[in-house]
Amino acid sequence: MFALADCNNFFASCERVFRPELNGKPVIVLSNNDGCAVARSNEAKALGIKMGDPLFKIRHIVEKHGVAVFSSNFALYGDMSRRVQEVLRMFAPSVEQYSIDEAFLDLRGMEHCDFDALAKQISRECQRLTAIPVSVGIAPTKTLAKIASKLCKRYPKLRGGCYIHRPQDIEKVLSTFPVADVWGIGRRSQAKLAQMGVETALDYTRLSETTVRKLFALPGYRTWKELRGEACIEFEDMVEPKQSICVSRSFASEIRTLPELTEQVTNFAVSAVDKLRKQGSMALEISVFAMTNRFKENEPQSYAGRCVPFASPTADYRTIVSASVSACAAVFRQGYGYKKAGVVITRLIQESGHTPSLFEDFDGARKEACLSGAIDSINRTFGPGAVLFGIQGDGSVRMARNHQSPHYTTLWSDLPTAKVE
Ligand SMILES: [Mg+2]
């Protein structure tokens, strides 16, 4: 058996954890630079706000119904996600984090359990320990577990947990479940299925094996088998380290001077190095890119990038920051308004597998490692940005975040206070 735990309206739910007065009220969270709604509470969905609606288009609904609007606060969401994962790990030895708000649990070997009770218990514990509502579906395959978790959202009576396993129950569920909503059914397949008159997940399972293999290739065939109760999608609880790390942002307004662009780029570089170090990797190359606003057609346009290779693999803040400073200077041109920039660290190797060459400066490398380690531990103890390079300015990224909530769980200065009377 597999379980899928999916946080309900995750970003909106995170915002509510520290603003309980918003429970039962419409809440939306916006994309970067306060563009579009990317998360909605059930109440906001009921007002007709759609996923991806731009803020300016729904402004009238927001004002009329007093919708609480938040800029995205990924420090908060990332930390809440980690807390939910921790609760999930209390229930199963292996947990596969599928996205920021979803995880699979491997329940094979736990067949003695009352899975229906377990699903409800996991949901209850997540709510109790993190205040995030979580829908837990348990089924014989990952694809069916996803469907079971969606049922929890549809039917509040299930109290956050749903276990489906009897063939007749599965058939009944699939007969009302739109095939387009099945995990693994891509856009292109959806069009093909609509033409064939396949509407529900049950219709799909009733196609012949040869048809499915011919028309939908291996992924479609796997989904078909999974819907029929045969588990064939691997459980992946080992996270492979990333092969490249990119940190990029669009700015709230165009940047026109080199010092300002450098400040932003070094901020990206520092956060990329932080990610690099967290996964225990070293890099052989860094590149910096910057681009103008292509929607401002009457302004000069530029998209430029510069790559800097390192003589030996490095995970050192100073080395990578100074490379990004020189790459940024090479990319920048006077007279252009830069709307977006980014840093990409590539050609990664695992630090544990690295053999230094004879010509490396061992003493220098040891000092660098000490300094970078000290930066990590200060920033982990006192919050990101506690120690900065001078060139980073105040360490903030120029994004429009007019509605951002405090970093309740990751910055000491933003810690919520409670009054006890
Ligand atoms: Mg979700």
Q: Quick one: pLDDT band at residue 387, thresholds 50, 70, 90? A: very high
- For domain 166-239, the CATH class is mainly alpha
Alpha-carbon distance of 122 to 124, in angstroms, equals 5
Q: Are 141 and 233 a contacting pair, CB within 8 Å?
A: yes
Percent of the chain with pLDDT over 90: 75
Whether the model clears a pTM of 0.85, i.e. scores above it, the answer is: no
CA distances, 341 to each of 249, 289, 385, 397 (Å):
6, 5, 20, 11
Q: What is the mean pLDDT of residues 277-291?
A: 95
Distance 136 CA to ligand 1 centre (A): 11
Cross-sheet strand order for the sheet of 281-292? 245-255, 338-350, 281-292, 303-314
The predicted pLDDT at position 291 comes to 95
Q: For the structural domain made of 1-163, what CATH number should be given?
A: 3.30.70.270
Q: Report pLDDT digits (tens) over 77-105.
A: 999 999 999 999 999 989 999 999 999 99
The predicted pLDDT at position 129 comes to 97
Q: Quick one: pLDDT band at residue 362, thresholds 50, 70, 90? A: confident
State yes or no: pLDDT of 237 exceeds 80.
no
Distance 84 CA to ligand 1 centre (A): 12
State yes or no: pLDDT of 240 exceeds 80.
no
Alpha-carbon distance of 224 to 194, in angstroms, equals 16
Alpha-carbon distance of 332 to 303, in angstroms, equals 10
Q: What is the mean pLDDT of residues 159-166?
A: 96
Q: Which residues belong to CATH 3.30.1490.100 in the chain?
A: 245-392
Distance 175 CA to ligand 1 centre (A): 23
**Cα 94–Cα 95–Cα 101 angle in degrees, nearest 5:** 175
Distance 104 CA to ligand 1 centre (A): 13
Top-confidence residue, 383 or 47: 47
Distance 179 CA to ligand 1 centre (A): 19
State yes or no: pLDDT of 181 exceeds 80.
yes
The predicted pLDDT at position 357 comes to 80
Q: Quick one: pLDDT band at residue 361, thresholds 50, 70, 90? A: confident
Q: Quick one: pLDDT band at residue 160, thresholds 50, 70, 90? A: very high
* Amino acid at residue number 12: A
Distance 285 CA to ligand 1 centre (A): 36
Question: Three-class SS of residue 199?
Answer: coil
Distance 416 CA to ligand 1 centre (A): 25
As a whole number, the mean pLDDT across the chain is 93
Top-confidence residue, 411 or 66: 66
Top-confidence residue, 243 or 329: 329
- Radius of gyration for the alpha carbons in the chain, expressed in angstroms and rounded: 25
Residue whose entry in the numeric block shows the structure tokens 């359990």 = 113
Q: What is the mean pLDDT of residues 313-325?
A: 96
Q: What is the mean pLDDT of residues 133-154?
A: 96
Q: Are 25 and 66 a contacting pair, CB within 8 Å?
A: yes
The predicted pLDDT at position 418 comes to 84
State yes or no: pLDDT of 252 exceeds 90.
no
**DSSP summary character for residue 234:** P
Distance 345 CA to ligand 1 centre (A): 30
Q: What is the mean pLDDT of residues 193-209?
A: 93
Record: fold of 245-392: Dna Ligase; domain 1 (3.30.1490)
Distance 255 CA to ligand 1 centre (A): 35
Q: Quick one: pLDDT band at residue 23, thresholds 50, 70, 90? A: very high
Question: Three-class SS of residue 331?
Answer: helix
Q: Report pLDDT digits (tens) over 29-60.
A: 999 889 899 999 999 999 999 999 999 999 99
Distance 38 CA to ligand 1 centre (A): 11
Q: How many CA atoms lie within 13 A of 43 on its CB side?
A: 17
Q: Are 268 and 341 a contacting pair, CB within 8 Å?
A: yes
Q: Quick one: pLDDT band at residue 182, thresholds 50, 70, 90? A: very high
State yes or no: pLDDT of 417 exceeds 90.
no
State yes or no: pLDDT of 385 exceeds 90.
no
What is the crossing angle of helices 317-331 and 362-382, to 10°?
Answer: 90
Distance 7 CA to ligand 1 centre (A): 5
Distance 241 CA to ligand 1 centre (A): 24
Distance 21 CA to ligand 1 centre (A): 22
Distance 43 CA to ligand 1 centre (A): 16
CA distances, 151 to each of 8, 48, 164, 183 (Å):
12, 21, 10, 14
Q: What is the mean pLDDT of residues 140-157?
A: 95
Q: What is the mean pLDDT of residues 349-359?
A: 84
- Secondary structure (DSSP) of 261-327: HHHHHHHHHHHHHHHHHHTTEEEEEEEEEEEE-TT-TTS---EEEEEEEEEEEE--HHHHHHHHHHH
Q: What is the mean pLDDT of residues 161-171?
A: 95
The predicted pLDDT at position 365 comes to 86
Alpha-carbon distance of 271 to 380, in angstroms, equals 13
Alpha-carbon distance of 365 to 321, in angstroms, equals 16
Q: Which residues belong to CATH 3.30.70.270 in the chain?
A: 1-163
The predicted pLDDT at position 140 comes to 96
Distance 101 CA to ligand 1 centre (A): 5
The predicted pLDDT at position 268 comes to 96
Q: Which residues belong to CATH 1.10.150.20 in the chain?
A: 166-239
Q: How many CA atoms lie within 13 A of 418 on its CB side?
A: 6
